[in-house]
Amino acid sequence: MVPQACRGIEKGEAGAFDEIAGIPVAGVAGWRCFIAVELSTEIAEGVRRVQKGFRERLAGVSWTRPEGIHLTLRFLGDVDPGRIEEIASKAEAGIKTIGPFSIGVKGCGGFPNPRNPRVIWIGVEDASGLLKQLQARVEQGMEELGFAGEGRGYTPHLTIGRLRSGKGKGEVGQAIEAMKGCDLGSMEVQEICLFRSQLKPTGAEYTKLKVIPLRG
């Protein structure tokens, strides 16, 4: 069943795609979805503080809205809402042997590298290796459902900003260097969530479609 908060989408919404061919289909409403770990209240507040520190140093950066910062496991793109149950069930089956575990949130960096950054991120420490296992099983399950693989290794991180242009990269690199020692502590990962993202005039709005507990 699709959550009540996510109903009311008209048929023919832009962004709908055929499940296999990946081509637009008239009359099918595509939902932009991803699977992620939701941050704890304490970690989310710490992320806001770090982002504020960067904001005070830098201009020319498009900052991620704090409520939109998640630890993404798998971006799915446009999804037929009729597949939400199937996706959630597949993810749940894949991670059924993994129980709750802790991750650390610390350090800052930039992609592709701190000296020439396009993306500013806060790091995630996976001391137990269970986050990597979790992501790999979610990835495998989604590929089995026909979602194309992303073709790159998984580097857990929290994106807090993206540079609008190539200007000011030196200042960004200096800011990353100044903030790289940040340590926001740890959090317990007890569940993963299937989210829907909707772009609205006020910014992206996120709806939690499914919550999948770690029961292993």
Average pLDDT, the chain: 86
Asked whether the beta carbons of 11 and 174 are under 8 A apart, the reply is no
Q: How far apart are CA 79 and CA 148, in angstroms?
A: 13
Q: Which CATH number fits domain 4-213: 3.90.1140.10, 1.10.10.10, 3.20.20.30, 3.40.140.10?
A: 3.90.1140.10
The residues annotated as belonging to the active site are 70, 157
pTM (2 decimals)?
Answer: 0.84
φ/ψ (deg, to 5) at 135: -65, -40
Report whether pLDDT(5) > 60: no
pLDDT at 27 over 70: no
For the cut 70, the answer to whether the pLDDT of residue 161 exceeds it is yes
Measured distance CA(102)–CA(40) in Å, rounded: 11
Q: What is the Cα–Cα distance from 216 to 213, expressed in whole angstroms?
A: 9
Nearest to 31 by CA among 83, 85, 79, 88: 79
Q: Which is more confident, 84 or 6?
A: 84
Q: 9 falls in which pLDDT band (50, 70, 90)?
A: very low
State percent of the chain over pLDDT 70: 87
If pLDDT is split at 50, 70 and 90, which confidence band does 116 have? confident
